[in-house]
Amino acid sequence: MMQIYKKRQFGELISDTFNFFKEHGKNYFKNYLMINGLIIILLVVVIVFAFKDVFPMLFNSNMQGSSSYLFEQYFTENMGSLIVLGVLMFLIILMLSLVNYTFPVLYLKRLAETGNKDITTDEMVSDIKKNVGKFFKFFLWSLITLLPIIVIASLISVALMFIVIGIFLFLFILPVFANISNFTFFDYFTTNKGFIDSLSEGFRIQFSKFWNYFGSVVIIYIIMNVISYVFTMLPMSIIAGTAFAAPIDQGAENGSNPILMILLFIVYLVSIIMSLLLSNIIYINAGLMYYDSRTDLHRSVDMLEIDTIGSSAV
């Protein structure tokens, strides 16, 4: 069985991320989809109702050189329904974020503490319910602390883009703050610390093995983007290009090709699902880096193993 509490070198942080899914992927995603599946379906339904008329208008407008008046008219005439759909989408995304962020953390925590490879959906639902309050506290604290730091760092890097170095600085700070945020989240949900203490721990972890953790998340992001491009962005680009290049069917509603619209919607919805599933790779990778840094837990596990060997010898 894969060991969670373990010191890992740079290469192991990446390889063990994928080894985790080889060993636990079936149970992990079964529980993930059982909990998150209905929320994803609800989000897809709301998106379809909210944007089913927008894409045809967008293509029709570009192909015929129409002005933005068409969009203004559409939003004015459908303001009420769009507000309702917008509120529903916000609530669904909030629920989706709750599950998507907490599930990997709580799954790894339960796996590390119990060693049980057959974690049940009921156990995960129970763990998530217990931590709903902590999730919203983390969200609010992040708005007050992490977000201003990230915004200031981003603005400085954008300002420096005029002398080129800002581009590299911007690409540099994104993985760093992504790690700090994830480490803070893991520590906040894994321990009994307050947010500020966990935030401090998040910074400490990132800078304890800076290049290992920085390089690990960069490689994982590159792999994710390549997969995402192949399965979503490439087909979407081809369909969109075909839609713009195809002759306009004046007989079709809004002058758009309904088959292309259906294909575009399908690819768009697949891209949402793919993004959600692929995000788990980032969180598991962050979790392995977090447990790599927790040398206090390594010592506890080592002592437990020694005690177990001693008991067996007796």
At 309 the pLDDT is: 46
H or E element at residue 148 = helix 146-159
Number of domain units in the chain: 1
238 within some domain: yes
Give per-residue pLDDT as tens, 68-87.
Answer: 556 666 677 777 777 888 88
Distance CA 109, CA 107 (A): 5
188 within some domain: no
Segments forming the whole domain that contains residue 82: 10-127+209-304
Q: What is the pTM of this model?
A: 0.81
At 254 the pLDDT is: 46
Distance CA 69, CA 51 (A): 17
Give per-residue pLDDT as tens, 151-192.
Answer: 887 787 777 766 667 677 778 888 999 999 999 999 999 998
4 within some domain: no
Helix, strand, or coil (residue 67): coil
167 within some domain: no
The three-point CA angle 36-37-39 to 5° equals: 65
288 within some domain: yes
148 within some domain: no
64 within some domain: yes
Give per-residue pLDDT as tens, 101-117.
Answer: 999 999 999 998 888 88
At 180 the pLDDT is: 94
The three-point CA angle 265-267-271 to 5° equals: 115
| Other CB atoms within 10 Å distance of the CB of residue 179 | 26
46 within some domain: yes
